[in-house]
């Protein structure tokens, strides 16, 4: 859903030059970038609100971070080490997460002060990097980082003027009014920072225990009080968005009006009108899912328009379906196969917990689909996920395409020579080991507890399996799609044949490393070739050089003039002396 909405906004932000001429400036860009900022605000703010609006006891007890580290879809080895931190520090981490997702977006994303928006950007960047390091890099993290760039401006990336020169220019050109505004902005920044600090201390009852050198934390409000806050406060945030959007739209219109030339001015105003109308429509539609959490009323015409385009998912609702953080551990499905029904062997997958001695894998940015589905099925049951029954059937048949989803290395799959005759599935609760408490699991990363049978024992001709397949509609004969003979499909088949023995994370990491290497080589060559070119002379240097030959020419001209003048004077004196009476005598 987030990818669809971000992709739709990308059409408005970068419309492939459809509304742009070479000589025109796109003064409407701040309007489209504001929509991206509004999407990022809804994503982070609603995600934080949903943690408390759902009444999750783990978040109200501030133990959610400790449970989340082991319950998330794909934890990393670093998550195990973070999980070993003291309990008070993990509780403080939960406080930081809530403040970063609720208070910081509310006070910084739409602030008119640039430095406050920069604070919001770096706070969210830090939060996403923590998610990546402890939970593998996913598309959501990368997309969130990309959306966070809407909080920045061109000056943040402008490297044409050095910071020292820029500061010097600002000091020279700064007037009394600008100095006063700068002082006021600094005071507002300090007030916002102080408000965040004080609200954190009050809302989470932060107290320092000097004897134990710890910092205790506890939520000071109830769920009912938070619901009242949400009901009365989420509405004004919409009006804050309206004011911020109006400011950007009016500023863009004034820039269009100030454009030189009648044709350019008219073309800029047409662009502004089209983009602003589209932005107003998108913003109005996004208000409907945004206010759904608080149960606010929306203009009927806007709600009808949202219902008409809801199937296209142009705007999404974020944070409404919050998944509770379980304190019972991480439920995991463990498949077991057997030839005789007496000896059972586990069939572990590549990327999900199975063997307790195996470290959590680093797979990001690859997202293994099978492991994600099994993680979700373990929490919902196979009745709501009929694909799991089909997986059991294909494993009993020994389909190599399905087996490669579990293990690409045949040596790691215990039934590579012959498919199992029987398969069953068990459900375990996994926890990270604690070396201080679990001294019997010093070499293990996980500890698990048997919870019960997840899928019954079946064979290929079992009536139970046939019944489950029939109920799921998997016994129907689906038409076989013809294989395309286009050059593109042949190239893709050839590439797939070469990489099918490699894990998805290795292939994707190799591609990313190749791209990074290409960009580095390009940058090195550009730097090397740029260093050999003669450096362009500065204006002062050129002026000095131009002055030197002119001064030399002036001196030579003066010297020649003086010489000619001297000769002329001597001749005149000689003539006068000849005419004098003394010379006549």
pLDDT at 147: 96
**Binning pLDDT at 50, 70 and 90, where does residue 486 land?**
confident
- Is-contact 454 380, C-beta < 8 A? no
**pLDDT over 60 at 511, yes or no:** yes
**Binning pLDDT at 50, 70 and 90, where does residue 174 land?**
low
Strands of the sheet containing 446-458, edge to edge, are 345-347, 330-338, 422-432, 446-458
Q: Report whether the peptide linkage leading into residue 117 is cis, meaning its omega lies within 30 degrees of zero.
A: no
Q: What mean pLDDT comes out for the span 428-450? A: 85
Give per-residue pLDDT as tens, 360-387: 998 888 888 999 999 999 999 999 999 9
69 vs 506: CA distance, rounded Å = 24
**Binning pLDDT at 50, 70 and 90, where does residue 328 land?**
confident
243 vs 238: CA distance, rounded Å = 9
The overall pTM is greater than 0.75: yes
**pLDDT over 50 at 484, yes or no:** yes
- Is-contact 189 155, C-beta < 8 A? no
Least confident range from 160-174, 288-302, 486-500: namely 160-174
More confident residue, 471 or 530: 471
Give per-residue pLDDT as tens, 204-247: 999 999 988 999 999 999 999 999 999 888 889 999 999 999 99
pLDDT at 321: 66
196 vs 204: CA distance, rounded Å = 12
Nearest to 276 by CA among 98, 31, 105: 31
464 vs 382: CA distance, rounded Å = 14
260 vs 25: CA distance, rounded Å = 11
Give per-residue pLDDT as tens, 62-82: 999 999 999 998 999 999 999
**pLDDT over 60 at 577, yes or no:** no
Give per-residue pLDDT as tens, 271-285: 999 999 999 999 999
**pLDDT over 50 at 491, yes or no:** yes
Strands 345-347 and 330-338: antiparallel
E strand or H helix at 576:
helix 539-579
Strands 446-458 and 214-216: unpaired
**Binning pLDDT at 50, 70 and 90, where does residue 497 land?**
confident
**pLDDT over 80 at 429, yes or no:** yes
């Amino acid at each position: 859903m987030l990818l669809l909405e971000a992709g739709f906004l990308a059409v408005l932000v970068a419309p492939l030059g459809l509304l742009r001429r070479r000589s025109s400036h796109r003064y409407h860009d701040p309007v489209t970038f504001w929509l991206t900022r509004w999407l990022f605000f809804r994503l982070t703010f609603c995600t934080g609100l949903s943690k408390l609006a759902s009444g999750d006891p783990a978040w109200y007890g501030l133990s959610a971070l400790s449970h989340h580290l082991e319950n998330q879809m794909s934890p990393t080895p670093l998550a195990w080490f973070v999980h070993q931190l003291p309990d008070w520090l993990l509780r403080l981490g939960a406080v930081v997460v809530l403040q970063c997702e609720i208070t910081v977006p509310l006070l910084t994303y739409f602030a008119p002060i640039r430095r406050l928006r920069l604070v919001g950007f770096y706070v969210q960047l830090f939060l996403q990097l923590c998610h990546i390091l402890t939970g593998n890099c996913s598309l959501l993290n990368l997309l969130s980082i990309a959306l966070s760039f809407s909080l920045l401006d061109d000056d943040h990336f402008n490297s044409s003027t050095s910071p020292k020169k820029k500061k010097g220019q600002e000091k020279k050109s700064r007037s009394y009014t600008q100095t006063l505004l700068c002082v006021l902005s600094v005071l507002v920044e300090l007030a916002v920072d102080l408000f965040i600090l004080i609200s954190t201390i009050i809302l989470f009852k932060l107290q320092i225990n000097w004897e134990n050198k710890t910092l205790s934390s506890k939520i000071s409000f109830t769920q009912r009080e938070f619901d009242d806050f949400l009901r009365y406060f989420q509405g004004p945030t919409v009006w804050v968005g309206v004011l911020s959007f109006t400011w950007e739209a009016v500023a863009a219109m004034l820039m269009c009006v100030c454009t030189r030339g009648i044709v350019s001015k008219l073309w800029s105003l047409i662009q502004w009108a089209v983009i602003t109308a589209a932005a107003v429509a998108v913003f109005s539609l996004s208000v409907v899912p945004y206010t759904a959490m608080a149960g606010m009323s929306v203009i009927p015409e806007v709600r009808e328009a949202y219902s008409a385009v809801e199937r296209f998912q142009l705007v999404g609702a974020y944070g409404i379906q919050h998944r509770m953080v379980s304190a019972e551990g991480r439920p995991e499905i463990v498949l077991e196969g057997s030839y005789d029904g007496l000896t059972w062997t586990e069939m572990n997958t590549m990327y999900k917990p199975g063997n307790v001695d195996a470290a959590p894998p680093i797979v990001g940015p690859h997202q293994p689909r099978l492991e994600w589905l099994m993680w979700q099925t373990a929490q919902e049951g196979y009745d709501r996920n009929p694909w799991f029954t089909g997986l059991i059937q294909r494993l009993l048949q020994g389909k190599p395409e399905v087996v490669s989803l579990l293990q690409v290395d045949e040596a790691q799959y215990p039934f590579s020579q012959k498919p199992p005759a029987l398969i069953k599935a068990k459900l375990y609760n996994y926890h990270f080991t604690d070396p201080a408490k679990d001294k019997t699991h010093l070499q293990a990363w996980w500890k698990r507890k048997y919870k019960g049978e997840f899928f019954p024992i079946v064979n290929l001709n079992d009536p139970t399996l046939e019944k489950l397949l029939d109920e799921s509609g998997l016994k129907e004969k689906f038409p076989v799609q013809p294989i395309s003979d286009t050059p593109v499909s042949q190239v893709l088949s050839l590439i797939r044949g070469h990489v099918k023995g490699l894990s998805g994370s290795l292939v994707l990491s190799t591609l990313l490393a190749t791209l990074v290497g290409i960009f580095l080589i390009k940058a090195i060559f550009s730097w090397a070739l740029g260093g050999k070119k003669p450096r362009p002379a500065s204006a002062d240097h050129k002026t000095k050089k131009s002055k030197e030959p002119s001064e030399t020419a002036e001196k030579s001209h003066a010297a020649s003039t003086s010489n000619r003048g001297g000769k002329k004077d001597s001749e005149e004196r000689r003539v006068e002396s000849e005419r004098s009476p003394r010379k006549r005598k």
